[in-house]
Structure formats: structure tokens, C-alpha cells
Amino acid sequence: AHFLLLNGPNLNLLGTREPDVYGHDTLADIEHRLEARAGEQGHSLACFQSNSEGELIDRIHTARDENIACVLFNPGAFTHTSIALRDALLGTGLACIEIHLSNTAQREAFRHHSYIADIAIGTITGFGAHGYILALDAAMARAAETTE
Ligand code: DQA
């Protein structure tokens, strides 16, 4: 199956951005790790990061025609603000797994609500960069189930 890893605002700063909260891995580290893991299992992964809400929406729209089995999505702060990203996922009908490096439930109250959580298959939060691997593994297991 083909998957899309989508990362929202400020995630391009991973590695140097508040490492106590977000860890030391860079986004490139995470992307390369996931591409390799997907490839090992006969799957493929496209990666896209943007700081712009509109670009993320456009990327989701494009994904509709790419036969994407699942979007692995860390929307960053747009998680807590963006009805437009929610609508993009609903409008394209793409399946999505929500990812957060930090445990947002332990943080400020404004991070407790997600506009994506109730339309996602599931959410992985609090496991740092490892959460991306957990999300990919869940997506690959689900793809195997749905093609059987
Ligand atoms: C984040 C959590 C968000 O609240 C925050 O705005 C981010 C990163 C995470 O991965 O933990 O940018 O999505």
C-alpha cells in the first residue's frame, strides 16, 4: 500500500526545537526511518511537511488521487485550531492516523482538544519519534487486513 506522512507547522524544526518536549531526532531522521520501514514490508511512503495550512490542505486534496491507504498526520498546532484541515480529510474521505510526539493531555489545556481525533482511525501521542513508527505499523497492519 501507499502511505502519506504529513507534518504540520514547526515540525521542520525537530531536533533543535524544545528537545525536552520533542526529542533530538530531526524530521529527516524520522522520514528516512519510516520510508525504510515501509519499503522493507513492500509498502511505499510519501513525505510532506509545511508550515502553511493551505499547503497541507492542498496536499491532502492531491492525495485523494494517489491511492493513499492512510495519512499519518501530525498537524502540530493546527490540531487545536483547524476546522479546514478536518474538512479536507472529511472531504477527501482519506483514512488518517493522528500523531503527536508529546503527550498533549499532560500539557496546556489548549492542547487537549483536537479537531482531528474523532475523525481519525486512532491517535498516537506521547511516545516521541517512536510514535511515528507505531503509527506506520498500525497503518501497515490495517492495510494487510483490508486487502485480505
Ligand atoms: C505536537 C503537539 C502540538 O500541541 C504542538 O503545537 C506541536 C507538536 C506534538 O507532536 O506533540 O506543534 O503536535
C-alpha cell at position 57: 490542505
Q: How many residues does the chain have?
A: 148
Residues with Cβ within 6 A of ligand 1?
10, 74, 76-77, 79, 100-102, 104, 111
Residues 6+ apart with CB under 8 A from 115: 79, 80, 81, 82, 83, 85, 86
The yes-or-no answer on residue 22 being catalytic is yes
Q: How confident is the model at residue 148 (pLDDT cuts 50, 70, 90)?
A: low
ipTM field:
0.99
- In the set 22, 43, 115, 132, the catalytic residue is 22
| Amino acid making up residue 35 | E
Report the nearest-CA residue for atom 6 of ligand 1: 77
**N-term to C-term CA, the chain:** 12
Count other C-beta atoms under 10 Å from residue 74's C-beta: 27
- Domains of the chain in start order, with CATH, are 2-147 (3.40.50.9100)
pLDDT digits (tens, 9 = 90+) for 62-105: 999 999 999 999 999 999 999 999 999 999 999 999 999 999 99
What pLDDT, in 10s, does the model give residues 129-141? 999 999 999 999 9
The answer to whether 53 and 85 have CB atoms below 8 angstroms apart is yes
